[in-house]
A and B are shown apart, each in its own frame.
Chain A
Amino acid sequence: MCVTQHFWDFFVSGLANGFVYALIALGYTLVYGVLQLINFAHSEVFMSGGFGGLFVINFAIGSRHPHGLSSVWFVLVGLAAGAVTGGIVAYILERVAYRPLRRRNAPKLAFLISAIGMSYFLYNLAGKEFGRDARTMKPPFTVSPNKPLFTVFGAPVNLYDAVIAVSAIAMLILLDRVVQRTRLGQGIRAVAQDADTAALMGVNIDRVIAQTFILGGLLGGAAGFLFGLGTAGVSYTMGFTPGIKAFTAAVLGGIGNIRGAMLGGLLLGVVENLSSACFGASWVDVVAFYILVLVLLVRPMGLLGERLGRSA
């Protein structure tokens, strides 16, 4: 079969993609959990995180060629820059596009249209202001081609993949802690379960929603930085495809379910790579779509079920 040879090669690189999807999917899932809203503009939060990380890293690295411990420092700086940019853009999104609509009890469609409008606006603004070419970041670590860090069952894992995996896992664990242990997390779960009751219990709905957006934005922005570290670099259109894939991943895992988003992201990343190996790169999106439809038909609440409040 097409996947038995070199299975681990594709699995490993698929996981790397999957981690990025997972980080973005969390943004979708968090917002859906509290607002029952598909935040279509989250792909631009991802993109802005990429640009934020790009500018800060390029400025910080200057003309150096970092390696060793300074690489770790630069990666952390980049992640922070990406996350902060993503968080800011997500917050702006909430205040400008969604809060006025919530005030008016607007229909779901209005939220959706507003989201699409903000998405168009943001990525065209980025294209206008930063130019429409792709730009690569100055590498915060030196990658030697064809010399992997280590191998897993014979599959090479290079430094870039490892950086993505480690950063993503750290952020996912952090998020899990925040949602389970902190007051903010409590608030999020409360609002996700039943907003009205939560309000009666004294939860400041507006604040919790804003904080949820920011949280999702932090993760999405950091994902943007990680994505931008790769060969394709950062471009104003970089948000679109990963955004749709990540949303598919979130639905796959169970929208509103944090662990589901993580699982969905990783699963989608691996499945995509394997289907690229079997059917060719041009059929990957089709396979992803069929899997989504299959899951929705057989298990519409997603693999791990829905709702932050219930089974996060």
Chain B
Amino acid sequence: MTLRRVWAWATSLRGRQLWVTLAGALVVDVMTGPSGSLNDPTAGFAGSLLSRRVGIFLLIGFAFWLLVTSRERLAAWSRSWTAAVRPSRWLPSRWYRLAAYGVLLAVAIVLPLVLSPYWQEVAVDQIGVYVLLALGLNVVVGLAGLLDLGYIAFYAIGAYSCAYWTDSLPIHPPFVLNPFATIPFAIAAAMLAGVILGAPTLRLRGDYLAIVTLGFGEIITIYATNLQSVTGGSPGNSRPIPHFSINLFGLHYRWGIDNMPYYYLLLAFVVMVIVFFHNLENSRVGRAWTAIREDEVAAAASGVNTFRYKLLAFAIGASTSGFAGVLFASKIQTITPLSFLLQQSILILVLVIFGGMGSIPGAIVGAAIIQWFPNGLKTYVRKEDLFLYLGALLVVMMIYRPQGLIPSRRRARELALAESGLVEADALTTASRDV
């Protein structure tokens, strides 16, 4: 009798939540526990699961479950923010949004001044550049709904273009340029690459686009490594890429190895890009993208030239990436194929998804938070285990909050409708349900 009752409770909602919480506690225990090694593969498991630690973690898990499920208000609260987001009524008017951006900008301007040089470096190299990249990929993935897994290839093309036109590669350009002046060339090169890649493949299904872009990302690195006489190969560019400098209309300024000038330059560019993308999103182009994203067949039937708009999104994303590449190349002064691995393409995708697809503030905040992780938790977490946490974070995010941290209102609405079963969540899903 009692066995049946126990079983009934165990398989009830609360019972299942308990198992899930306890299992999660064990996983966290193993993740944060000691590591095994070549000669002792069970050391990690034994150390975390067969010691006092497991008791502590199970206790914490149990307490967490108790807290969250038994208190009605807490339960309602936790359900509310893991449920699909209803469109937020928070920022109804343009002025509120502008004010929020203004505050963010002020913080962005003032904050780095109080940080240590190390954090300034991180703010430029790892956070700033990746915010730019995330914004670009946000257009491709978030606004147009195209899955691009080789995004870093355009970054590489932009960086190598900058290196080429400033005469830092083994092959010499017809005329030498200042890094600022290479920006249009780099953007053009990246955009051209985007169009060449996109033209044949954007007509394919989304999943195929993913694998083709993945392959493209890989082969760009391979070309960079193999064509030693052109790109310098694995060791990278032969002469250092010069820093930015301005020399016109009586204005003379040289960027150097100091981080702050680069930071402010990056900030200016990011603001420009944000304004541009925001206008784009609310324009005819943006509406076409939304239409394509939500239901491609209906969009085509309504007269939207889906291919052309997809190509435009692709090209814009590619050029943003190329642009970021120039900034990167000129700041670090040395570029090698190792800086453009597949891992980074996926990282940028994670930034966008984590922050909120299709949402500009989401892309910024997502990039900032995730890029902060490896540096902020450096002393508490073993560096090698970092992607362990990142991977787990991704899975948890997708299960409990797929709309991302700061969802775009449109996206939130789409997800809410999808969850209630009315429509498919995005074009990718729709396309693959075609028989």
B-binding residues in A (CB < 8 A): 32, 36, 38, 55, 96-97, 100-101, 104-114, 116-122, 124-125, 127-133, 135, 193-194, 244, 247-248, 251, 255, 282-283, 285-286, 288-289, 292-293, 296-297, 300
Given contacts A130-B38, A131-B37, A133-B38, contact A194 B435 (CB under 8 A): yes
A54 to chain B, nearest CB (A): 9
Contact in complex: A248, B211 (CB < 8 Å):
yes
Task: Give A117 to B391 CA distance when docked, in angstroms.
Answer: 4
What residues of A have a CB within 8 angstroms of the CB of B72 in the complex? none
- Which of B202-210, B249-257, B314-322, B367-375 lies at the interface? B202-210
Q: Is B426 engaged at the interface, CB distance under 8 Å to the other chain?
A: yes
What residues of B have a CB within 8 angstroms of the CB of A114 in the complex? 394-395, 398-399
> Contact string, B10-51, partner A, CB cutoff 8 A, digits 1/0?
000000000000000000001100011111110011000000
Task: Give A116 to B200 CA distance when docked, in angstroms.
Answer: 26
Contact in complex: A129, B208 (CB < 8 Å):
no
Given contacts A105-B421, A108-B425, A117-B393, contact A282 B388 (CB under 8 A): no
We find that the number of chain B residues with CB closer than 8 angstroms to chain A is 64
A-binding residues in B (CB < 8 A): 30-31, 35-41, 44-45, 84, 141, 147, 200-201, 204-208, 210-212, 214-216, 218-219, 222-223, 225-226, 346, 349-350, 353, 357, 384-385, 387-388, 390-395, 397-399, 402, 415, 418-419, 421, 424-426, 428-429, 432-433, 435
Contact in complex: A101, B388 (CB < 8 Å):
no
Task: Give A46 to B128 CA distance when docked, in angstroms.
Answer: 37
Task: Give A112 to B394 CA distance when docked, in angstroms.
Answer: 10
Contact in complex: A106, B398 (CB < 8 Å):
yes
Task: Give A96 to B400 CA distance when docked, in angstroms.
Answer: 12
Contact in complex: A135, B38 (CB < 8 Å):
yes
Would you give 23 A-B contacts (Cβ < 8 Å), ordered by A?
Answer: A55-B41, A100-B399, A101-B398, A104-B419, A105-B418, A107-B415, A107-B426, A107-B429, A108-B426, A110-B402, A110-B425, A114-B399, A117-B398, A128-B35, A128-B388, A129-B36, A131-B38, A131-B39, A194-B435, A248-B211, A255-B207, A282-B226, A283-B226
Pick from A96, A116, A133, A244: contact of B350, CB under 8 Å: A116
Task: Give A117 to B37 CA distance when docked, in angstroms.
Answer: 23
Contact in complex: B211, A292 (CB < 8 Å):
yes
Contact in complex: B207, A38 (CB < 8 Å):
yes
Contact in complex: A293, B384 (CB < 8 Å):
no
Given contacts A36-B432, A104-B419, A286-B222, contact A113 B398 (CB under 8 A): yes
Given contacts A129-B45, A300-B204, contact A97 B218 (CB under 8 A): no
What residues of A have a CB within 8 angstroms of the CB of B415 in the complex? 107
Residue on B nearest A255 in the bound complex, by CB = B207
Additional A-B contact list (9), CB under 8 Å, known A104-B84, A105-B419, A107-B402 = A106-B425, A117-B350, A117-B391, A127-B384, A128-B44, A128-B385, A130-B37, A131-B38, A293-B201
What residues of A have a CB within 8 angstroms of the CB of B226 in the complex? 282-283
